[in-house]
């Protein structure tokens, strides 16, 4: 299927690995010009052919500076993919509500919610110019099942999902579509990295990390029998950001192997 993205421009945040890196590759394959933003430009990100920009989007001024540089580099902006999220090793992935510090709440919201708010605020004036811009926010099924993840992360992602719905309503009449993609467990560093949620969860359960990941599809009720791949999420993002999906806006698209059982 031709997604009609050739020659269009995109900005992808959190692009150095996982879903972000796969999204950069998918958009480049569709003929887009891509600015890829990350705190660190990895060799994997430098290889595909996107323009890498180093930025910390958890800061108040980082998103605006990023959008200014991206717009100057691309000469316009058709698609924003707000993918940055997750957290660092000290994010406090395990434990309960009373274990979370004030700073961990601030850090979780700065990275998983306010980074998208600030980047969208800076990008929307550019996205409205062509009359056909799009935003895709990457949330999580934790927004729908907050008991299944760290309370700080789940709550921030729930706010992000609501934010996308509100933006779609306000900016739809101005030609900008806004959709949310909510993955379940995906083969990324969040689950497989030595300092991520998967590693800390396995340690708290007294299990080897590999054993936890191997059993995750069954534990999470994923009927496909495996964890979702980053490229599969990236394909959905590319479709939603394309003119082919012109009738889709304000929706939250779950991609989780049917681990979320509610409608």
pLDDT at 231: 98
Give percent of the chain with pLDDT exceeding 70: 98
Q: Are residues 99 and 153 in the same domain?
A: yes
Q: Are residues 234 and 128 in the same domain?
A: yes
pLDDT tens figures, 175-188:
999 999 999 999 99
Does 25 fall in a domain? Answer: yes
Cβ atoms of 200 and 93 closer than 8 Å: yes
Does 260 fall in a domain? Answer: no
pLDDT exceeds 70 at position 89: no
pLDDT at 238: 98
Cβ atoms of 54 and 38 closer than 8 Å: yes
- DSSP track, 169-226: HHHGGGT-EEEEEEE-SBSSHHHHSTTSHHHHHHHHHT--HHHHHHHHHHHTT-TTSS
Does 58 fall in a domain? Answer: yes
**CATH number of the domain enclosing 242:** 3.40.50.720
Name the maximum alpha-carbon separation found in the chain. 54
Does 151 fall in a domain? Answer: yes
Average pLDDT (82-103) is 85
Q: Are residues 132 and 207 in the same domain?
A: no
37 by DSSP, 3-state: which? strand
Q: Are residues 57 and 118 in the same domain?
A: yes
Q: Where is average pLDDT lowest: 5-9, 64-68, 131-135?
A: 131-135
Q: Are residues 69 and 17 in the same domain?
A: yes
pLDDT at 46: 86
- DSSP track, 78-89: SEEEE------T
**What does the block give as tokens for 17?**
């690995």
Does 126 fall in a domain? Answer: yes
Model pTM? 0.96
pLDDT exceeds 90 at position 57: yes
pLDDT at 90: 67
pLDDT exceeds 80 at position 88: no
Query: Model confidence at 66, in pLDDT bands (50, 70, 90)?
Result: very high
Q: Are residues 159 and 214 in the same domain?
A: no
Q: Are residues 250 and 154 in the same domain?
A: yes
Residues of the domain holding 138: 9-184+229-255
Does 242 fall in a domain? Answer: yes
Strands 9-12 and 79-82: parallel
Q: Are residues 151 and 165 in the same domain?
A: yes
Q: Are residues 145 and 210 in the same domain?
A: no
CB proximity list for 102: less than 8 A, separation 6 or greater? none
Query: Model confidence at 48, in pLDDT bands (50, 70, 90)?
Result: confident
pLDDT at 263: 86
Give percent of the chain with pLDDT exceeding 90: 86
Average pLDDT (112-121) is 98
Q: Are residues 178 and 154 in the same domain?
A: yes
Average pLDDT (134-160) is 94
134 by DSSP, 3-state: which? strand
Cβ atoms of 141 and 148 closer than 8 Å: yes
Enzyme catalytic residues: 153
Q: Are residues 61 and 124 in the same domain?
A: yes
Counted domains in the chain: 2
Does 98 fall in a domain? Answer: yes
pLDDT tens figures, 192-239:
999 888 999 999 999 999 999 999 999 999 999 999 999 999 999 999
Among 117, 241, 230, smallest CA distance to 179 is for: 241
Average pLDDT (15-20) is 96
Does 262 fall in a domain? Answer: no
Q: How many CB atoms lie within 10 A of CB 226?
A: 12
Q: Are residues 83 and 112 in the same domain?
A: yes
């Amino acid at each position: 299927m031709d997604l009609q993205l050739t020659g269009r421009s995109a900005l992808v945040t959190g692009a150095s690995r996982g879903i972000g890196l796969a999204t950069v590759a998918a958009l480049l394959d569709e003929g887009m010009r891509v600015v890829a933003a990350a705190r660190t430009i990895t060799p994997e990100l430098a290889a595909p052919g996107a323009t890498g920009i180093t930025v910390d989007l958890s800061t108040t001024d980082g998103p605006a500076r990023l959008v200014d540089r991206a717009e100057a580099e691309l000469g316009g902006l058709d698609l924003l993919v707000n993918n940055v999220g997750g957290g660092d090793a000290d994010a406090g992935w395990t434990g309960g509500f009373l274990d979370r510090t004030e700073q961990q709440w601030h850090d979780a919201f700065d990275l998983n919610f306010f980074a998208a708010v600030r980047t969208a605020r800076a990008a929307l004036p550019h996205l409205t110019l062509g009359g056909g811009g799009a935003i895709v926010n990457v949330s999580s099924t934790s927004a729908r099942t907050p008991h299944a993840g760290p309370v700080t992360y789940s709550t921030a992602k729930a706010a992000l999902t609501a934010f996308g719905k509100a933006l779609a309503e306000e900016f739809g009449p101005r030609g900008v579509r806004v959709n949310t993609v909510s993955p379940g467990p995906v083969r990324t560093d969040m689950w497989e990295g030595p300092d991520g949620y998967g590693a800390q969860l396995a340690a708290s359960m007294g299990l080897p990390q590999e054993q936890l990941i191997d059993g995750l599809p069954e534990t999470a009720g994923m009927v496909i029998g495996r964890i979702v791949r980053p490229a599969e999420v990236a394909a959905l993002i590319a479709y939603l950001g394309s003119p082919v999906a012109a009738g889709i806006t304000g929706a939250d698209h779950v991609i989780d192997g049917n681990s979320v059982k509610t409608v």
